[in-house]
Amino acid sequence: MSTPRHVIFGTGAIGRATLAALLRRGERPQDVRMVNRSGSAPVPDGVEVAAGDATDPAFTTAVAEGAQVVYQVLNPPYHRWAEEFPGLQAGVVAAAEAAGARLVSMDNVYMYGPPLGRPLTEGHADAPTTRKGAVRARMAQDLLAAHRAGRVEVTVGRASDYFGPGGGKQSVLGDTVFAPALRGRAATVLGDPDQPHTYTYIPDIGEGLALLGEHPDAAGEVWHLPNDPVTRTTRQLVALVQEAAGHPKAKVRALPPVVMRALGVANPLMRELTEMLYEFQEPFVVDSTKITKHLGATATPAERAVADTLATYRTS
């Protein structure tokens, strides 16, 4: 294998957004290797996609040999997090440690638990109330412990619920909002659509992770990836989508919890979403002032983010 500067474990929407951010920074396609199970992904010519099992340290160590930055953006099936996520992370940590590379880990904000009326900052204590939140808390603690022990240089980027190009079914503001908007049909959302809720734009996640990989002051810290400082309600953000799609009178429909629980009997994704409903039943504001103040990262304006996401749905 050739020696890439960057190795990205994961080729989903976040992995591809990270790749795009690296290429915008001037990295050559051959300087980036992506890793998944199949060895196939929709990436630009010249970008290698290696196939293998990220839980196997022998494989991860070999595929990341010589890398300067390793990115962990893997995302196992939602209902399999407890069983699969820790092993995937351990494999990526082994790769970065062996290579002497910086490890940039994509994270979310589940470990904080309910915000209880306060904006979530990086200083918020871990207080998970869900199974997936507890998994994320343990994983983040393990990463930071490895950094403090001097095993591997780690930086953690956390995003809220995301939307944007490629988000699709993995985004609560994806296929049930953007696709219907283009047809003038009702959007389907979770929880109370009139509560303020932070949504992170996928390309901003990619830009943030690329920044964490290169900035000298990023290591050893948790960073909230850039969010719009104006936190809209879900209804307000959906209204931007519907207006941009040319159907400003389209409706917004909230999926009742009782329906979600009924669907969850046969649908593992819906079953797992039910325990996260607290995020959508009260103000859920994720403050990203730290990364803006210290590293200079800013969020894409919501109007542009919505327009760019709609453009991908129009051509899909």
CATH number where 288 lies: 3.40.50.720
Q: How many residues does the chain have?
A: 316
Q: How far apart are CA 236 and CA 238, in angstroms?
A: 5
Q: Is residue 125 part of a domain?
A: yes
Total domains, the chain: 2
The reported pLDDT for the residue numbered 206 is: 98
Indicate the DSSP class of residue 12: S
181-204 per-position pLDDT tens digit: 999 999 999 999 999 999 999 999
Q: Judge residue 58's burial from the number of C-beta atoms within 10 Å of its C-beta, 0-12 exposed, 13-18 middle, 19 or more buried.
A: exposed
Residue 1 has pLDDT above 60, yes or no: no
Instruction: Determine the structural domain holding residue 90 and report its residue range.
Output: 6-164+198-231+284-299
Residue for token digits 């190795």? 7
Whether residue 151 is found in the same domain as residue 173: no
Whether residue 242 is found in the same domain as residue 151: no
Which of the four pLDDT bands, split at 50, 70 and 90, describes residue 222?
A: very high
The reported pLDDT for the residue numbered 299 is: 98
Whether residue 52 is found in the same domain as residue 83: yes
Sign of CA dihedral 20, 22, 27, 28: negative
Helices then strands, each counted (H, E), the chain: 11, 11
The reported pLDDT for the residue numbered 109 is: 98
Whether residue 226 is found in the same domain as residue 104: yes
Q: Is residue 312 part of a domain?
A: no
Whether residue 108 is found in the same domain as residue 175: no
SS3 33: strand
Residue for token digits 């109370």? 192
Whether residue 186 is found in the same domain as residue 149: no
Average pLDDT for the chain: 96
Q: Contacts from 259-266 at CB under 8 Å and sequence distance 24+?
A: 260/190
How confident is the model over 11-38, as a mean pLDDT? 98
Whether residue 290 is found in the same domain as residue 217: yes
Q: Is residue 316 part of a domain?
A: no
58-107 per-position pLDDT tens digit: 999 999 999 999 999 999 999 999 999 999 999 999 999 999 999 999 99
The secondary structure of 242-267 as a DSSP string is: HHHTT-TT--EEEE-HHHHHHHHTT-
Whether residue 103 is found in the same domain as residue 247: no
Residue for token digits 């009782």? 258
Which run of H or E residues covers position 187? strand 187-190
The reported pLDDT for the residue numbered 268 is: 85
Q: Is residue 313 part of a domain?
A: no
What percentage of the chain carries pLDDT values higher than 70?
99
Phi-psi region of 162 (alpha: psi -120 to 50; beta: other; left: phi over 0): beta
Whether residue 181 is found in the same domain as residue 160: no
Write the CATH number for 240: 3.90.25
Which of the four pLDDT bands, split at 50, 70 and 90, describes residue 2?
A: low
What tokens were used for 170? 């993995």
Q: Is residue 305 part of a domain?
A: no
259-288 per-position pLDDT tens digit: 888 888 888 888 889 999 999 999 999 999
- Helix 302-315 crosses helix 202-214 at what angle (to 10 degrees)? 110
Q: Is residue 308 part of a domain?
A: no
Whether residue 172 is found in the same domain as residue 88: no
Whether residue 160 is found in the same domain as residue 218: yes
Whether residue 151 is found in the same domain as residue 11: yes
